[in-house]
């Protein structure tokens, strides 16, 4: 089974590109982030024709998450309890024998912006939700976390420590989440490799290898024990057939 996460940076602008990716990679379950459209504009027909059902938590202009799957997708949770003031950023479904959650964690903007404190508070709500919910033993939490776990995951290495995305306060939250019994499946698969999932559109960042690893697939012990490999699909950060890519690459995990 192939599970994946992908911040599409605007679903309407990415539809033709998404068709290419889904057809080429054939993932079984996909967590999507940054839809930037309301629920009633989600293109269900488009995905049905490609063989996918969808559950959606959207909003106008900003944020928005969805889960795509072949069939048997059962909606379980829409929105993060205690985090709704930050927009549509969490959705959970039971699918393929997994409890599958995808999140679009807040950006925080800058260390002095009020959104930075709201980002940390949103993470606290996510940790509390994950800690207290009745949970399938085979659970996945994937998405755009907007935190760089360690120096290896930033093109600037430890020089970026303390900057937004790289602060101790943010990393403490990510670690607290992992201590709820989750594993960063990319790091399980490749403990010492450097690979990025996001590159700025500006200044040729992709070709200069100026990226960050901020998109993760986290899994419980039961998922980790079935892990066969994880790929960050950087080919799909490149233009395809003249179509513009998202600034995030998809991440794909193969589960037995």
Interacting residue ranges for DNA, rule: CB under 7 A: 7, 9-14, 34, 36-37, 60-62, 106-107, 109-110, 115, 144, 146, 165, 198, 200-203, 212, 214, 244, 247-248
Cross-strand pairs, 55: 67
Going by the DSSP 8-state scheme, the letter that residue 156 receives in this structure is T
Nearer to DNA, 60 or 131 (CB): 60
Nearest distance from residue 111's CB to DNA, in Å? 11
Nearest distance from residue 54's CB to DNA, in Å? 17
Nearer to DNA, 11 or 95 (CB): 11
Nearer to DNA, 110 or 175 (CB): 110
CA distance 16 to 27: 16
Going by the DSSP 8-state scheme, the letter that residue 135 receives in this structure is -
- Phi and psi at 255, nearest 5°, equal -120, 135
Nearest distance from residue 230's CB to DNA, in Å? 20
Nearer to DNA, 30 or 255 (CB): 30
Q: Strand 65-69 relative to strand 29-33: parallel, antiparallel, unpaired?
A: antiparallel
Nearest distance from residue 203's CB to DNA, in Å? 3
Nearer to DNA, 109 or 131 (CB): 109
Nearest distance from residue 229's CB to DNA, in Å? 25
CA distance 145 to 179: 16
User: Distances from the Cα of 159 to the Cαs of 70, 118, 154, 164, in angstroms?
Assistant: 43, 25, 9, 12
Q: Is 123 exposed, middle or buried (0-12, 13-18, 19+ CB in 10 A)?
A: buried
């Amino acid at each position: 089974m192939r599970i994946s996460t992908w911040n599409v940076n605007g679903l309407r602008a990415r539809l033709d590109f998404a068709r290419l990716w889904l057809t080429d990679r054939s993932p079984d379950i996909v967590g999507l982030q940054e839809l930037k459209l309301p629920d009633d504009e989600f293109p269900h027909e488009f995905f049905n024709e490609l063989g996918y059902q969808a559950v959606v938590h959207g909003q106008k202009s900003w944020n928005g998450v969805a889960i795509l799957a072949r069939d048997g997708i059962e909606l379980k949770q829409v929105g993060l309890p205690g985090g709704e003031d930050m927009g549509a950023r969490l959705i959970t479904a039971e699918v393929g024998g997994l409890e599958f959650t995808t999140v679009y964690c807040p950006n925080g903007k800058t260390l002095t912006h009020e959104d930075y404190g709201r980002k940390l508070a949103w993470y606290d709500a996510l940790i509390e939700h994950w800690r207290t919910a009745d949970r399938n033993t085979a659970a996945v939490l994937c998405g755009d976390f907007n935190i760089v776990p360690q120096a290896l995951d930033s093109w600037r290495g430890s020089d970026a420590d303390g900057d937004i995305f790289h602060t101790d306060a943010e990393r403490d939250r990510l670690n607290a989440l992992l201590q709820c019994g989750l594993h960063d499946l990319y790091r399980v698969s490749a403990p010492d490799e450097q690979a990025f999932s996001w590159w700025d559109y500006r200044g040729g960042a992709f070709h200069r290898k100026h990226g960050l690893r901020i998109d993760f697939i986290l899994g419980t012990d039961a998922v980790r024990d079935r892990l066969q490999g994880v790929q960050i699909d950087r080919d799909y950060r490149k233009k395809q057939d003249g179509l513009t890519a998202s600034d995030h690459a998809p991440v794909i995990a193969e589960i037995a």
